[in-house]
Amino acid sequence: MRLRHTVTDTVLGPITIVADGEAITGLYFQHHIRRPDDAAFGVAMPVSEDPLLRDAVQQLLEYLDGRREGFDLPLRAAGDDFNHAVWDVVARIPAGQTTTYGAIAEQLGDRSLAQKVGQAVGANPLCIFVPCHRVVGSNGSLTGYAGGLTRKRVLLELEEPATASAERLF
């Protein structure tokens, strides 16, 4: 199969999901930082005609409805070895939990790489599917997110355990 994409309406606004062959290669918000030009997404494909895109959209909508915590999709992201090392760590952050750029750098063997980790997290082409929204600043503050901090907050609140959300004042 060829490079193709679909756009689906969600509670976070329109989301473009890109597939190449038998793998999902991108998930982008409408005003995504580092969003490739639409020409890089290949042909527009109705989900009714593409089982992989249909599966990705279905799983995404289930996640956003709170009926799914993770994804069972073939993913393939373009990036260098360091990016992939970071994204592998990010992919293992459980729903409802967060970590910091520094903690990821420590897992990779060098705390001084925190800024480089931040760059790799920001370059993640598979937002939500590889949950970079679960990475926060060293003091727990919300830091940059390619889809914007409002979306990051929504995603974190969606995953928040019921006991934590009941204790939250906002």
Q: Is 132 a catalytic residue?
A: yes
What region does 106 belong to: left with phi over 0, alpha with psi -120 to 50, or beta?
A: alpha
Please state, in angstroms and rounded to a whole number, the distance separating the CA atoms of residues 17 and 5: 5
Place of tokens 């290669």: 25
Q: Which of 159, 141, 149, 133 is closest to 27 using CA atoms?
A: 133
- Residue among 12, 15, 91, 132 flagged as catalytic: 132
DSSP-H helix ranges across 34-170: 51-64, 81-91, 101-107, 114-122, 149-159, 162-167
Catalytic residues: 132
